[in-house]
């Protein structure tokens, strides 16, 4: 008999080289590889409990019962777990985040990583780290990168089984800090699932993909050699190009707010004046300012005092998804 109940913790990750666009939307097979780092201070904790008394899956996030669209996406993911485990029971899913959802802070990554690990454990599945990462990918592409720890690469792969993420360096490899300028807390209008399907409508998408392996290679080398100048160059180029694809798809997607651009320009000016910092922006308006630990306090101070950013979060490289004995109720 499987344990039927399990709880897992996962961190969101910030992509240094982004995932934007799929080769296969249904399987979430990406069009290119990506690189990320997990964010230790931000976390999702999820309990999955399979229960014979339930007729439907029930999903609660941060104390609120979720709308149909969220429940359906979670149920579809649990179906993959149930099919692999030969289990028919419905589940109660209870999840908590210590950061705002759907605001470009990658809550779907930590959400589906925690759901996958808790669901697989509760259903009695015994999966390799690679199989667990590939399974998390089916729920949300970037979730596969929240299964391993530290600095993580997701190789695009060619089919379901070989498209998974793995750690290229542990969290303590490089004391980088992500100083996050929260310029807006409102949920984004167009989610990334829909955005990925639009990527191919941009005339820039082909150029983005053709140049992606080179950027990934430069970024990987920068990380492994702790070369901040090279990292800044690759990370900003990749973020800019992804947003160029977004802005030129049909319909176009504009995730930046005026404050997003203001922070991006300030970060470049600060770097030119000698402060080691660079930016990257996901599918939302908030700006992730990456810097070595020594620069973090000054970056946070300038964001608040000079630019008037009302909320600044700080996160350091984090570990992978893990089980815990403390359930969410």
Q: Which token pair is 303?
A: 């964001």
Q: Please state the closest distance from residue 30 (CB atom) to ligand DP6, in A.
A: 8
| Contacting residue, 46, 47, 75, 108, with ligand DP6 by CB under 6 A | 108
| Contacting residue, 48, 74, 283, 290, with ligand DP6 by CB under 6 A | 283
Contact status: 245 vs ligand DP6 (CB under 6 A): no
184-221 burial code (b ≥16 CB/10 A, e <16): bbeebeeebeebbebbbebebbeebbeebeebbebbbe
**Cα gap 308→329, rounded to integer Å:** 38
| Contacting residue, 33, 119, 141, 318, with ligand DP6 by CB under 6 A | 141
Given the rule CB under 6 A, which of 11-19, 84-92, 290-298, 302-310 is the region that contacts ligand DP6? Answer: 11-19
156 vs 61, 161, 227, CA distance in Å? 30, 11, 25
Contact status: 282 vs ligand DP6 (CB under 6 A): yes
Contact status: 15 vs ligand DP6 (CB under 6 A): yes
Contact status: 106 vs ligand DP6 (CB under 6 A): yes
Q: Please state the closest distance from residue 326 (CB atom) to ligand DP6, in A.
A: 27
Nearer to ligand DP6, 20 or 228 (CB): 20
Contact status: 133 vs ligand DP6 (CB under 6 A): no
Q: Please state the closest distance from residue 63 (CB atom) to ligand DP6, in A.
A: 23
Answer for the pair 21, 31: CB distance below 8 angstroms, yes or no: yes
Answer for the pair 26, 52: CB distance below 8 angstroms, yes or no: no
Nearer to ligand DP6, 263 or 276 (CB): 263
Contact status: 208 vs ligand DP6 (CB under 6 A): no
Beta strands in the chain (DSSP E): 5-10, 13-17, 22-24, 29-30, 34-38, 44-51, 58-61, 64-65, 90-97, 151-154, 165-169, 176-182, 278-280, 287-292, 311-315, 322-324
How many residues bind ligand DP6 (CB under 6 A)? The answer is 16
Contact status: 193 vs ligand DP6 (CB under 6 A): yes
- Closest residue by Cα to residue 155 from 130, 180, 129: 130
Interaction site with ligand DP6 (CB under 6 A): 15, 18-20, 28, 34, 106, 108, 140-142, 192-193, 196, 282-283
């Amino acid at each position: 008999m499987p344990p039927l109940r399990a709880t897992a913790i996962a961190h969101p990750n910030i992509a240094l080289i982004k995932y934007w666009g799929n080769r296969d939307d249904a399987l979430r097979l990406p069009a290119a590889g990506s690189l990320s780092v997990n964010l230790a201070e931000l976390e999702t904790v999820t309990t999955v409990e399979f229960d014979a008394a339930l007729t439907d899956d029930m999903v609660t996030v941060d104390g609120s019962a979720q709308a149909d669209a969220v429940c359906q996406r979670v149920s579809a993911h649990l179906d993959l777990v149930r099919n692999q485990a030969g289990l028919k029971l419905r589940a109660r899913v209870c999840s908590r985040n210590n950061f705002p959802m759907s605001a470009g802070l990658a809550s779907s990554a930590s959400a589906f990583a925690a759901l996958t690990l808790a669901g697989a454990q509760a259903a009695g599945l015994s999966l390799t780290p690679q199989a667990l990462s590939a399974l998390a990918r089916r729920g949300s592409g970037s979730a596969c990168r929240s299964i391993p720890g530290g600095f993580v690469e997701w190789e695009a792969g060619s089919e379901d089984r070989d498209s998974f993420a793995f750690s290229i360096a542990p969290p303590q490899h490089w004391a980088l800090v992500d100083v996050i300028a929260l310029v807006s807390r409102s949920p984004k209008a167009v989610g990334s699932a829909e955005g990925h399907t639009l990527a191919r409508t941009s005339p820039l998408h082909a150029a983005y993909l053709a140049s992606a392996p080179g950027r990934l290679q430069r970024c990987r080398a920068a990380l492994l050699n702790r070369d901040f100048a090279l990292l800044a160059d690759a990370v900003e180029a990749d973020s800019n190009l992804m947003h160029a694809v977004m802005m030129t798809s049909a319909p176009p997607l504009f995730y930046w707010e005026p404050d997003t651009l203001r922070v991006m320009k300030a970060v470049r000016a600060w770097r030119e004046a000698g402060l080691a910092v660079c930016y990257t922006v996901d599918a939302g308006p908030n700006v992730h300012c990456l810097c070595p630990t020594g620069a973090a306090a000054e970056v946070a101070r300038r964001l608040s005092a000079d630019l008037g950013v009302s909320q600044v979060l700080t996160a350091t490289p984090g570990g992978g998804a893990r089980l815990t004995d403390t359930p969410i109720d």
